[in-house]
């Protein structure tokens, strides 16, 4: 391929209205088609780059025209001649999202170094959130996304950040159904442990729960064993637990934002429908699956009604919800924290481990360790500014901390 001459124009200075229009007005009389353009503003400082296809003989004219137009606006202008060699198309395009609380330079340096080590080139970086975490999105080319995900996951643990790698393309924006675990995901804590507090057997139940979530015990059998410990508990304890239940931080923002974008939302829980039904009604959830406690004469019998929603049951529920919503599995997202979520995380188009056990973090497509459910929105390419803008349009108060 024959190379063509180019001029790279770089404009820097304090951002103000009219800079871009003045630049292109000055170029209006010069035969120099625009090849590429990018602009960024950080704390009021503008960096604007424009790549023009132009012969070297026009360099001085471009330089003079732009200086005359932009110097009075307080801008610095640099014009550099070069050539566009074309070159091969870079394969393996990925979006890499890095989240930190805080996000330190050393961590970003480590992630960038790992990308380079595996043949990746960072084509673009943009910040998409400054709270409750700092999140930046890197557009990367030249590295195999699957290998990059594996290596960056290992690096992220050592660097103290969360990293998600998604293959670029239309499918990244095509997710339509989100299926969430409930206990320790949509809500804080474990419902069965809260019931056990009322029954006076909290320590015993908590120990079995922890072992089950680590994958050391069969979930269905461990659940039945824990439920038997609740035999005789007054059913009014269910009402008390519903009142005590706290949503995960950012849960309402997460749900509200996705519903604005016409996502379908579902919960699938190894917990109990007597509690999840209230969450479904409160949040406007579209689909739900959970276990049901047997209640006779106002007291828990220590038994469950129907089949147990366990690890396999959660995956089956995801598949059923997708079918009912008319959404292919490739367009689904699953979010969970325990070993009983592994099958649905593997089945979904994007599986996200949320404050999860090590076995789950290692198996998921992406992992978050920050206690803010709405941070998952950043993995979907939704920025904090877009979330706040939509809230403001609906009259919802937006409280933004200083940057």
Q: Is position 183 annotated as part of the catalytic site?
A: yes
The residue out of 84, 113, 129 marking a domain boundary is: 84
Give the model's pLDDT for residue 210: 81
| Spatial contact of 49 and 66, defined as CB atoms under 8 Å apart | no
The residue out of 84, 106, 138 marking a domain boundary is: 84
- Based on the domain organization, do 246 and 341 belong to the same domain? yes
- Based on the domain organization, do 71 and 205 belong to the same domain? no
Q: Is position 337 annotated as part of the catalytic site?
A: no
Give the model's pLDDT for residue 27: 94
Give the model's pLDDT for residue 29: 87
Q: Has residue 39 been placed in a domain? A: yes
- The phi and psi torsions of 122 (rounded to 5 degrees) equal -85, 110
Q: What's the CA gap between 190 and 245, in Å, rounded?
A: 9
| Catalytic residue from among 181, 310, 337, 365 | 181
Q: Has residue 221 been placed in a domain? A: yes
Q: What's the CA gap between 284 and 213, in Å, rounded?
A: 28
- Based on the domain organization, do 115 and 208 belong to the same domain? no
Q: Has residue 396 been placed in a domain? A: no
Q: Which two tokens stand for residue 267?
A: 């919960």
Q: What b/e sequence results for 307-337 when a residue is b if at least 16 CB atoms lie within 10 Å of its CB, and e otherwise?
A: ebbbbebbbbbbbebbeebebeeebbbbbbb
| Spatial contact of 330 and 346, defined as CB atoms under 8 Å apart | no
- Based on the domain organization, do 74 and 34 belong to the same domain? yes
| Spatial contact of 163 and 98, defined as CB atoms under 8 Å apart | yes
Look at residue 331 and give its three-state secondary structure.
helix
Q: Has residue 47 been placed in a domain? A: yes
- Based on the domain organization, do 225 and 358 belong to the same domain? yes
Query: In tens digits, what is the pLDDT along the chain, a chain of 403 residues?
Result: 345 789 999 999 999 999 999 999 999 989 999 999 999 888 899 999 999 998 888 999 999 999 999 999 999 999 998 876 554 455 678 999 999 999 999 999 999 999 999 999 999 999 999 989 999 999 999 999 889 998 998 899 899 999 999 888 766 667 899 999 999 999 999 999 999 999 999 999 988 888 877 778 888 889 999 999 999 999 999 999 999 999 999 999 999 999 999 999 999 999 999 999 999 999 999 999 999 999 999 999 999 999 999 999 999 999 999 999 999 999 999 999 999 999 999 999 999 999 998 889 889 989 999 999 999 999 988 999 999 999 988 888 876 655 4
- Based on the domain organization, do 260 and 360 belong to the same domain? yes
Q: What's the CA gap between 331 and 353, in Å, rounded?
A: 17
| Spatial contact of 235 and 298, defined as CB atoms under 8 Å apart | yes
| Catalytic residue from among 84, 162, 183, 391 | 183
- Based on the domain organization, do 211 and 262 belong to the same domain? yes
Supply the pTM of this predicted model.
0.84
Q: Which 8-state DSSP code applies to residue 217?
A: S
Q: Has residue 403 been placed in a domain? A: no
Q: Is the dihedral of CA 295, 296, 300, 304 positive or negative?
A: negative
The residue out of 37, 66, 84 marking a domain boundary is: 84
Q: What's the CA gap between 373 and 379, in Å, rounded?
A: 11
- The phi and psi torsions of 324 (rounded to 5 degrees) equal -65, -35
- Based on the domain organization, do 363 and 214 belong to the same domain? yes
- Based on the domain organization, do 146 and 202 belong to the same domain? no
Report how far apart, in Å, the C-alpha atoms of 298 and of each of 231, 232, 293, 395 are: 11, 9, 12, 43
Q: What's the CA gap between 185 and 373, in Å, rounded?
A: 8
CATH value at residue 113: 3.30.70.260
| Spatial contact of 377 and 257, defined as CB atoms under 8 Å apart | yes
Q: Has residue 198 been placed in a domain? A: yes
Q: What's the CA gap between 240 and 172, in Å, rounded?
A: 41
| Spatial contact of 284 and 139, defined as CB atoms under 8 Å apart | no
Q: What's the CA gap between 301 and 8, in Å, rounded?
A: 75
- Based on the domain organization, do 217 and 303 belong to the same domain? yes
Q: Which 8-state DSSP code applies to residue 122?
A: E
- Based on the domain organization, do 226 and 294 belong to the same domain? yes
Query: What residues make up the domain containing 140?
Result: 94-168
Q: Has residue 292 been placed in a domain? A: yes
C-alpha angle 390-392-397 in degrees, rounded to nearest 5: 125
CATH value at residue 215: 3.40.50.1000
Q: Count of domains in the chain?
A: 3
Q: Has residue 101 been placed in a domain? A: yes
- Based on the domain organization, do 154 and 238 belong to the same domain? no
């Amino acid at each position: 391929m024959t190379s063509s001459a180019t001029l790279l124009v770089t404009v820097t200075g304090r951002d103000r209205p009219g800079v871009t229009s003045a630049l292109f007005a000055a170029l209006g009389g010069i035969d120099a088609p625009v090849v590429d353009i990018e602009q960024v503003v950080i704390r009021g400082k503008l960096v604007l780059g424009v790549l023009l296809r132009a012969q070297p003989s026009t360099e001085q004219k471009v330089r003079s025209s732009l200086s005359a137009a932009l110097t009075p606006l307080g801008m610095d202008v640099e014009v550099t001649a070069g050539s566009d060699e074309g070159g091969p198309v870079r394969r393996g395009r990925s979006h890499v999202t890095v989240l930190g609380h805080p996000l330190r330079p050393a961590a970003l340096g480590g992630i960038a170094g790992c990308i380079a080590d595996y043949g990746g080139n960072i084509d673009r970086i943009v910040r998409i959130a400054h709270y409750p975490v700092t999140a930046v999105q890197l557009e990367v080319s030249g590295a195999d996304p699957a290998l990059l995900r594996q290596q960056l996951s290992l690096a992220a643990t050592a660097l103290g950040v969360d990293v998600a790698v998604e293959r670029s393309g239309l499918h990244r924006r095509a997710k339509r159904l989100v299926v969430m675990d409930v206990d320790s995901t949509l809500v804080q804590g474990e419902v069965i442990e809260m019931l056990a507090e009322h029954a006076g057997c909290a320590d015993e139940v908590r120990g079995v729960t922890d072992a089950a979530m680590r994958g050391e015990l069969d979930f269905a059998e461990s659940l039945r064993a824990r439920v038997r410990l609740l035999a005789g508990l007054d059913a009014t304890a269910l009402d008390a637990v519903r009142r005590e239940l706290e949503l995960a931080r950012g849960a309402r923002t997460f749900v509200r934002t996705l519903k604005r974008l016409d996502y379908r939302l579902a919960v699938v829980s190894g917990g109990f429908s007597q509690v999840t039904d209230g969450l479904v009604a409160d949040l406007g959830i579209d689909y739900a699956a959970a276990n049901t406690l047997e209640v006779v004469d106002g007291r828990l019998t220590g038994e469950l009604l129907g089949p147990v929603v366990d690890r396999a049951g959660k995956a089956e529920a995801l598949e059923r919800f997708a079918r009912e919503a008319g959404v292919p599995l490739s367009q689904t997202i699953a979010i969970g924290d325990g070993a009983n979520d592994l099958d649905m995380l593997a089945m979904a188009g994007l599986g996200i481990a949320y404050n999860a056990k090590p076995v789950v973090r290692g198996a998921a497509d992406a992992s978050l360790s920050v206690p803010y459910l709405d941070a998952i929105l950043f993995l979907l390419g939704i920025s904090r500014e877009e979330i706040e803008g939509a809230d403001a349009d609906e009259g919802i108060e937006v409280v933004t901390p200083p940057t």
